[in-house]
Chain A
């Protein structure tokens, strides 16, 4: 079935589909029930599935993640919501110390099929702690999978795959894109979310982005005088650098875009891998267009921090003129 949906509705549909298929799937988080979530992503699910499957939790992220681990051990398939990126940190301990390690520790006996949904990224004019990009912290931890969609279709496909995965998945939702509309083909659920996808083919420069910056990269490509190939990484862990390498082998030039601060961000990992695998294909140094190494600024100044199409095009100029 194909419909045009906002990303928020596509995520909602994915959860509904998963819950209809498997009654062990439960939702757990703050204000997700009656309120339907602060961005309405879980709207209507409490009404249709009841308070035992869509559970409002106390205000405690460590509690949410920690108890979900126990629920998973009891056979449930919890889909958690952390209300905002900047609030995940009380739960970081449980995620690193337990969620990432239990399967290994028990030599495979215990599986934790938990999805942790986290709205992330800036561009919504928010107060402090609501525009963070902490994905690198999680992609850096073995034992976790990290996924981030960029449009309604990938939001639907990726969330369904995340819920169905038996591994713990940290699922980053680009909140500034919640209202973007796009076509969602439900039969596309089988599309592989663990691979990067090429959204626009080009011959001059490979532009790699993920989450909220994918749309920005596509806008830059539209406005560019050069032929840009835009790649949506989608899976941050595992990282599909092979797809990126195939592209760079054709273009010889790479620009990586993300909101998170540049130092030790995902861009650094992609650059290191491609620098090695494509050393003899590169015609220019690899460029990264990222947030600066500063705390996220107040909302009136966020436009100076966030990468935009102008900054991407500036980097494209650099690699083309190298």
Chain B
């Protein structure tokens, strides 16, 4: 409760006193700002005086007829008076509902939040980043106080060239590895660092193979490529030396080498979506023509993006043609779960010795990487040599094999 005392105001014009003519309110009355509360008479006129507060009249200090000087207390108002309440058995009762408006706040009371984490981001944004293998600390935050927003993470996923957080280097490119590519990378690592790789190579005179290719082209509308012949050679080698067509399987007792009954040939295919390895199932039962058809079909599927998971899995041995890129050989990594991989290089005319004379022959390098746990040096060498022997005279080998 707060009492405000109203003094007879100086109305100017030399007014020094006034007579109270009539009170317009009495103690206990509610009054509003500027409400007239008293009539006074000065030397000049009768005027009404307004009260400058809202509240309840507390006391009247001067009676009607009194002549009071300017500055005298004439009426007191309780400006802190509570709104009317209907009391209840145990208390004042409820407050009547005034119009509910918001009591204004100062401008400056925006919270300064302590930085709790190095990177500020909402839970859903963190999840988005994590699911897409984005390191939040490398994303520039454009939100309040440097918060990383959903848009920031989406931009990072989309591969936009955003400068890494805090990095001075504006050159280069950061390409996220995700999805299938990430899985392949992981498989690569698993294979390379689990199977002890040994790589051997041999050069082969491809003239007889090229002859066969040419003769088959003339005889059939089917066009077979040297790649198909190499595939056939590998398949024959796998039939002769089954351990190159096997898998190393860890068991509770140790490990098993599982020799596969069929050759499901996987071959590396370069597609618009990257490297895929489609598989020709049961390639060992095929002759050159059906093998060619199978490979062509799978290649088509892979290139057009219509290959199914079945098309892309289940291979037991892999052939990769690196010669199309103009190189000879290398150290290919065995596909996970397999025992060996054969790479064929480019076919290029080179000097060759035949009957102690130097002649020009189309020479191709073959590279065989094999899992040394499964295949020892002798076997690997023999297998590679048998591929080379087949390619040196495919027609002869086929005839021999028919027995």
Whether A and B touch (Cβ < 8 Å) is answered with: yes
Tell which of B86, B90, B95, B101 touches A126, judged by Cβ atoms closer than 8 Å: B90
Of chain A, the residue at the smallest CB distance from B126 is A280
Task: Give every chain B residue within 8 A of A283 (Cβ-Cβ).
Answer: 122
Minimum C-beta distance from A317 to chain B (A): 8
- Check if B103 sits within 8 Å of A310, measured CB to CB: yes
B94 at the interface (CB under 8 A from A): yes
- Check if B90 sits within 8 Å of A280, measured CB to CB: no
- Check if A124 sits within 8 Å of B101, measured CB to CB: no
Within 8 A of B (CB), among A157-180: 176, 179
Task: Give every chain A residue within 8 A of B100 (Cβ-Cβ).
Answer: 219-220, 222-223, 309
Distance A127 CA – B93 CA, assembled complex (angstroms): 11
Minimum C-beta distance from B254 to chain A (A): 45
Of chain A, the residue at the smallest CB distance from B101 is A223
B88 at the interface (CB under 8 A from A): yes
Distance A299 CA – B93 CA, assembled complex (angstroms): 10
Distance A279 CA – B127 CA, assembled complex (angstroms): 10
A318 at the interface (CB under 8 A from B): yes
- Check if B91 sits within 8 Å of A313, measured CB to CB: no
Distance A282 CA – B122 CA, assembled complex (angstroms): 8
A-B contacts, 26 of them at CB < 8 A, read: A38-B89, A39-B88, A123-B94, A124-B92, A124-B94, A125-B88, A125-B91, A125-B92, A126-B90, A127-B90, A127-B91, A130-B91, A219-B100, A222-B100, A223-B100, A223-B102, A280-B123, A282-B122, A282-B123, A283-B122, A299-B91, A309-B102, A314-B105, A321-B110, A321-B111, A321-B144
Distance A318 CA – B87 CA, assembled complex (angstroms): 37
Interface centre among A125, A222, A321 (most CB of B within 10 A): A125
Instruction: Decide: A280 near B103, CB < 8 A? Known: A124-B91, A126-B88.
Output: no
**Chain A positions 104 through 135: 1 when the CB is less than 8 Å from some CB of chain B, otherwise 0:** 00000000000000000001111100100000
Minimum C-beta distance from A217 to chain B (A): 11
Task: Give every chain B residue within 8 A of A280 (Cβ-Cβ).
Answer: 123-124, 127
Task: Give every chain A residue within 8 A of B382 (Cβ-Cβ).
Answer: none
Instruction: Decide: A125 near B93, CB < 8 A? Known: A309-B100, A310-B103.
Output: yes
- Check if A130 sits within 8 Å of B122, measured CB to CB: no
Minimum C-beta distance from A127 to chain B (A): 6
Distance A219 CA – B98 CA, assembled complex (angstroms): 11
Interface centre among B89, B90, B101, B122 (most CB of A within 10 A): B90
**Chain A positions 202 through 233: 1 when the CB is less than 8 Å from some CB of chain B, otherwise 0:** 00000000000000000110111000000000
B85 at the interface (CB under 8 A from A): yes
Distance A124 CA – B96 CA, assembled complex (angstroms): 11
A84 at the interface (CB under 8 A from B): yes
Task: Give every chain A residue within 8 A of B111 (Cβ-Cβ).
Answer: 318, 321
Minimum C-beta distance from A251 to chain B (A): 14
- Check if A124 sits within 8 Å of B124, measured CB to CB: no
A243 at the interface (CB under 8 A from B): no
A186 at the interface (CB under 8 A from B): no
Task: Give every chain A residue within 8 A of B85 (Cβ-Cβ).
Answer: 125
Instruction: Give the secondary structure class of B's interface.
Output: loop
**Chain B positions 139 through 157: 1 when the CB is less than 8 Å from some CB of chain A, otherwise 0:** 0000010000000000000
A281 at the interface (CB under 8 A from B): yes
Task: Give every chain B residue within 8 A of A124 (Cβ-Cβ).
Answer: 88, 90-94
Distance A318 CA – B101 CA, assembled complex (angstroms): 19
Within 8 A of B (CB), among A277-301: 279-283, 299
Within 8 A of B (CB), among A28-74: 38-39
Minimum C-beta distance from A309 to chain B (A): 5
Distance A223 CA – B90 CA, assembled complex (angstroms): 32
**Chain B positions 116 through 128: 1 when the CB is less than 8 Å from some CB of chain A, otherwise 0:** 0000001110010
Task: Give every chain A residue within 8 A of B92 (Cβ-Cβ).
Answer: 124-126, 299
Minimum C-beta distance from B144 to chain A (A): 8
Task: Give every chain B residue within 8 A of A127 (Cβ-Cβ).
Answer: 90-91
Interface centre among B93, B102, B111 (most CB of A within 10 A): B102
Of chain B, the residue at the smallest CB distance from A275 is B123
Of chain B, the residue at the smallest CB distance from A38 is B89
Of chain A, the residue at the smallest CB distance from B89 is A38
Minimum C-beta distance from A297 to chain B (A): 13
Of chain B, the residue at the smallest CB distance from A300 is B92
Task: Give every chain B residue within 8 A of A224 (Cβ-Cβ).
Answer: 102
Minimum C-beta distance from A79 to chain B (A): 21
Minimum C-beta distance from A142 to chain B (A): 31
Minimum C-beta distance from B85 to chain A (A): 7
Task: Give every chain B residue within 8 A of A130 (Cβ-Cβ).
Answer: 90-91
Task: Give every chain B residue within 8 A of A123 (Cβ-Cβ).
Answer: 94-95
Given A123-B95, A125-B94, A219-B100, 5 other A-B contacts at CB below 8 A?
A124-B88, A124-B94, A125-B95, A126-B91, A127-B90
Task: Give every chain A residue within 8 A of B87 (Cβ-Cβ).
Answer: 125
**Chain B positions 68 through 112: 1 when the CB is less than 8 Å from some CB of chain A, otherwise 0:** 000000000000000001111111111100001111010000110
Task: Give every chain B residue within 8 A of A38 (Cβ-Cβ).
Answer: 89-90
Task: Give every chain A residue within 8 A of B90 (Cβ-Cβ).
Answer: 38, 84, 124, 126-127, 130
